């Protein structure tokens, strides 16, 4: 059976070979996904251990798998984060632990290492049925019901094989789980008036669109799986980086930057 990680990796490998402007980002992401999968599998394969959801308590186990991820970033990442990876590898593990605890308590989409390291941990945590502990989480329908994170990408898919209608979900940028969300509503401020919600396509990306809100001026990208069933939303979202440029030029801000900083 193909794991969730393998599906992302296969899609990233495929898109990286034919990508235009986002080729470098996607190539880095193919390496990063493999490193994250390794962290996830080291947690999952650990004998007689399950995560408690208390990051400080779980860090001794999580921390063991992180140097390999840091080495991948040092070798393949863009210069600023490659330098940071090198510094973390050369410093005491306590520095990494403090950095993760800071992200745990107040996640930020510009804290690359916190997000990259904790996605595999939180994904496994969610699958084991535990809850994240010792952190304040945002609540409300636009936040992830598991970890309180911001949505990374919006996904449209057909509800049932025999149904004409499609439904919408959001994928969390912090823990990668998804939740159902109403179809015509801003994922940032809850605006529902159709006149305030704009959708922008480019012929280059037939199944990806910008979903922008003129009330709060935020946007999210939407991936339509009814058009390209093989798409992996968090990967296709990165591939469609030229759309982000368009959105920013038109005065919109992204709800949550993705792992490669777009
Ligand atoms: Zn989440
Ligand atoms: Zn809005």
- What pLDDT does 159 receive? 72
**What phi, psi does 114 have (nearest 5°)?**
-60, -45
Q: How far is the CA of 172 from the centre of ligand 1 (A)?
A: 5
Contact 253, 244 (CB under 8 A): no
Per-residue model confidence as pLDDT tens digits over 196-228: 999 999 999 999 999 999 999 999 999 999 999
Is the distance from CB of 16 to CB of 28 less than 8 angstroms? no
Give exposure, 185-202, as e/b (b: 16+ Cβ within 10 Å).
Answer: bbbbeebeeeeebbeeee
pLDDT band, very low/low/confident/very high, at 164 (cuts 50, 70, 90):
low
pLDDT for 139: 85
- Alpha carbons 238 and 62: distance in angstroms, whole number: 27
Centre of ligand 2 from the C-alpha of residue 248, in Å = 15
Residue 163 predicted with pLDDT over 80: no
Instruction: Give the closest ligand to the alpha carbon of residue 253.
Output: 2
Work out the pLDDT band at 26, boundaries 50, 70, 90: very high
CB count within 10 Å of CB 78 equals 14
140 versus 69: the higher-pLDDT residue is: 69
Centre of ligand 1 to C-alpha 15, Å, is: 26
Contact 120, 36 (CB under 8 A): yes
Question: Ion ligand 2 — residues with CB under 5 Å?
Answer: 186, 188-189, 191, 213, 215-216
Q: What tokens does 42 get?
A: 């080291």
Per-position DSSP letters for 101-149, written without gaps between them: HHHHHS--TT-HHHHHHHHHHHHHHHHHT----SS----STTS-TTT-P
pLDDT of residue 52: 97
Alpha carbon of 247 to ligand 2 centroid (Å): 14
pLDDT confidence band for 2 (50 / 70 / 90): confident
Give the Cα separation of 245 and 262 in Å (integer): 9
Would you state the pLDDT for residue 34?
A: 98
Distance 183 CA to ligand 1 centre (A): 19
Distance 218 CA to ligand 2 centre (A): 6
Output the CA 255–ligand 2 centroid distance in Å: 10
The average pLDDT across 57-77 equals 97
Please tell me the distance between residue 203's alpha carbon and the centre of ligand 1 in angstroms.
31
pLDDT of residue 162: 62
pLDDT tens-digit series, residues 95-130: 999 999 999 999 999 999 999 999 999 999 999 999
Mean pLDDT of the chain: 94
pLDDT for 32:
98
Q: For residue 233, what pLDDT is reported? A: 98
Q: Whose atoms come closest to the Cα of 151: which ligand?
A: 1
């Amino acid at each position: 059976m193909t794991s969730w990680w393998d599906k992302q990796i296969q899609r990233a490998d495929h898109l990286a070979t034919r990508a235009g402007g986002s080729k470098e980002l996607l190539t880095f992401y193919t390496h990063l996904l493999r490193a994250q999968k390794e962290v996830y599998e080291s947690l999952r394969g650990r004998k007689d251990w399950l995560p408690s959801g208390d990051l400080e308590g779980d860090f001794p186990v999580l921390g063991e798998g992180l140097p390999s991820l840091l080495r991948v970033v040092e070798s393949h990442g863009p210069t600023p984060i490659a330098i940071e990876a090198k510094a973390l590898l050369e410093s005491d593990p306590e520095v990494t632990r403090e950095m993760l605890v800071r992200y745990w308590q107040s996640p930020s989409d510009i804290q690359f290492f916190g997000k990259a390291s904790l996605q595999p941990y939180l994904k496994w945590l969610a699958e084991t049925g535990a809850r994240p502990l010792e952190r304040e989480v945002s609540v409300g329908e636009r936040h992830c019901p598991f970890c309180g994170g911001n949505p990374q990408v919006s996904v449209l898919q057909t509800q049932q094989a025999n149904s004409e209608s499609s439904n919408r979900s959001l994928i969390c940028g912090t823990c990668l789980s998804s939740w159902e969300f109403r179809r015509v509503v801003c994922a940032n401020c809850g605006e529902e008036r159709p006149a305030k919600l704009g959708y922008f396509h480019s012929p280059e990306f037939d199944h990806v669109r910008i979903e922008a809100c003129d009330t709060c001026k935020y946007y999210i990208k939407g991936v339509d799986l009814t058009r390209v069933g093989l798409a992996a939303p968090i990967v296709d979202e990165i591939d469609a980086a030229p759309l982000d440029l368009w959105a920013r030029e038109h005065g919109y801000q992204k709800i949550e930057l993705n792992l490669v900083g777009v």
